[in-house]
Structure formats: structure tokens, C-alpha cells
Amino acid sequence: MEDINLLEQDAFIEIASIGLSKSADSLSQIINEKVLLKTTKMGISIRERLEKSDTNDFTVLTTRIMGEHEGICILIFSQEDALNIQKKCLPGSEEKEMREALLLEIDNIISASVITQLANILDLKIYGDVPQITSLNLEELKQHLYDLKIEFKPLLFSTNLISENLKIQPDFFWYFKDDMLKTLKEFVNKEN
């Protein structure tokens, strides 16, 4: 598997940040107040991130990247963050189906924005498939992410989603095959 260096990580995070900033306006309409999305950190240690988790239940949204290169985007909300989003956007609603529909729409907005930026900047024909949602406990999530690591190279970054009355910190796990990482490396080398 290809390894990426700090400069290549920075390039990915910069591309992702552009996509995140574009999705903030759409999220502002859903949440009905100004939303800021800010990437807080990036790393490749899945184990380290999950061991620091203070929760055992997660809502996991998975979007396959398809087309010229393959990958997977996984957006992970703690159960608490998922409930807080539901309370803010759907006051009075406690239905699991409504929360899941809302989270799928949020995932679709955020993932599509980042995938579009990757496609545009790296000049690729890629797109996101329809997102899938599942609830996993910590051990199930660790196993799920470990299984993906066999075929794909993981990149992790945390994002703060902040509005006047809401602050959540979902994690993005991006998994790419070597051909995508090679394209990213070539882009960085060409730009420098």
C-alpha cells in the first residue's frame, strides 16, 4: 500500500476543507442557523482515535466512492451528537427513522461536497454512491474499520460542526485504494 507524507496529508485536508466550507451553507439551511465546519486534525491512526472515544454507540454513514478511482467515506457521529442534531432540526420528534433520514441527508451533503472537490481539483471522474446508515457499538465499529483497512488505506480527520446552539464533532474516515493515493501524490509533486 502507498504511504502518504505530511505534505500529501496537508493537500488532502486542504481539498477536503474546501468541500466542507461549501457544504456549510446547505447545512445552515437544514439547521436554520449559520454553521461553520472546521477541520480540527488529521491522522491515520484509527485505533488511537477510537480508544479516546468516551461513548460506546455510534451512527455510521458510509458512502462508496465510485468511478475512475474507488474509495469509501465514513462519517461517524456519536449517539449523543446524532440525538442533538435531531433535537435541533426536528424539535419534538423522537422517531429513529426521522433521525436517520436527517443524518443521511447531512452525510450526502458533506460527502458529496468533498468528493466533488477531489474530482475537480484532481481532475477525476468520481462520484459518491447512495449513503448507507447503521448503528454500531465500539467493538463492532473497530472491527468494521479494521476490515476496510485490509483493502484500503485509511485517512482520518475530525471536524467541528458549530452553530449558535449546536456543537458536534463527527469523524471522517476516508479509505482509498493505491491508485487514488498515487493520483494525490502526483498532484502534490506537480504543484511543488
What's the total number of domains in the chain? 1
**Interval 134-187: pLDDT, tens:** 999 988 988 888 888 777 777 777 777 788 888 887 888 888 888 888 898 898
**Structural domain includes residue 1:** no
What CATH code is carried by the domain that includes residue 112?
3.40.1550.10
Is the pLDDT score of 78 beyond 50?
A: yes
Q: CA 84 → CA 37, 99, 146, 162, 168, distances in Å?
A: 16, 10, 28, 12, 8
pLDDT of residue 131: 95
| Listed residue (124, 146, 144) closest to 66, CA to CA | 124
Is the pLDDT score of 44 beyond 60?
A: no
Greatest mean pLDDT among 29-43, 69-83, 121-135, 139-153: 121-135
**Domain residues for 16?**
6-191
pLDDT of residue 50: 67
**Structural domain includes residue 32:** yes
Is the pLDDT score of 49 beyond 70?
A: no
Cβ-Cβ contacts under 8 Å for 127 (sequence gap 6 or more): 65, 66, 67, 115, 119
**Structural domain includes residue 167:** yes
Q: What residue type is assigned to position 113 of the chain?
A: S
**Interval 102-121: pLDDT, tens:** 999 999 998 999 899 999 99
Query: Cell 457521529 appears where?
Result: 77
Backbone angles phi, psi at 157, to 5 degrees: -145, 150
**Structural domain includes residue 91:** yes
